[in-house]
Amino acid sequence: MKVKGALDYFVIATIFILVVFQECVNGRTFLHSIPRPHPDDAANFARWLVSQSSWGVLNTISSDWGGAPFGNVVSFSDGLPDKGKGIPYFYLTTLDPTARNALKDQRSSLTLSEYSLGTCGKSDPENPTCSKITLIGKLKLVYGNSKEAEFARTALFVKHPEMKGWPKSHNFEVFKLEIENIFMINWFGGPKPLTVDQYLHAKM
């Protein structure tokens, strides 16, 4: 009886582990190849947060809704896995308001939360120790046959394989955020001072 009970548990536990673990991995990036930098190392921390994230909220000025700030959930990539360059690239269609807005007014920002990475432990998403970053700048179309567009498509398709198969008829195009200011909170004491130059030249 004891053996039978224990073996039943063996089977049930194995199925449960597989289900739960699969769920975790599907739901968000669960394992990180680059360790979390120290919060004081602002440039590397910011680059880590951007390169480890796969999606965020991209903001534009809405022409449809009286100039309201319009946030939209988008996938992005700043390079090949663990080889991010810090500049976020997007794959957008003008069927969506975000791309249409950007073509009229390039002012934009991209916002990411460390909470999505699952590395905030028990901290609330609004707790300053659960880091967040907003890259503020101009959202620009990258012309399709440029070297940069080629780099961006590779960076995007490797991190978001299904993009490659998205309908041709939707005319998806590569956009990039040209960063002008960085707002990052990753500890107590307010936003970390960080210039775009420090961010782009961080040694990951």
Q: If binding is defined by CB under 8 A, does position 39 make contact with a copy of itself?
A: no
Spell out where 89-191 has E strands: 89-92, 107-113, 132-141, 173-185
**Which neighbouring-strand residues pair with 141?**
175
Count of residues binding a copy of itself (CB under 8 A)?
A: 71
Contact pattern from residue 47 through residue 86 relative to a copy of itself, giving x for each residue in contact according to CB under 8 A and a dash for the rest: -------xxxx-xxxx--xxxxxxxxxxx-----------
- For residue 66, the minimal CB distance to a copy of itself (Å) is 7
Q: CB nearer to a copy of itself: give 3 or 145.
A: 3
Q: For the segment 100-119, give every residue that binds a copy of itself (CB under 8 A).
A: 107-113, 115-119
- For residue 49, the minimal CB distance to a copy of itself (Å) is 11
Q: If binding is defined by CB under 8 A, does position 197 make contact with a copy of itself?
A: no
Q: Quick one: which segment of 22-30, 37-45, 79-87, 147-155 binds a copy of itself (CB under 8 A)?
A: 22-30
Token duo for residue 37: 């930098």
Residue 52: partners with Cβ closer than 8 Å, 6 or more residues away:
29, 32, 34, 117
> Is 124 buried (19+), middle (13-18) or exposed (0-12) by CB count in 10 A?
exposed
Token duo for residue 182: 């960085």
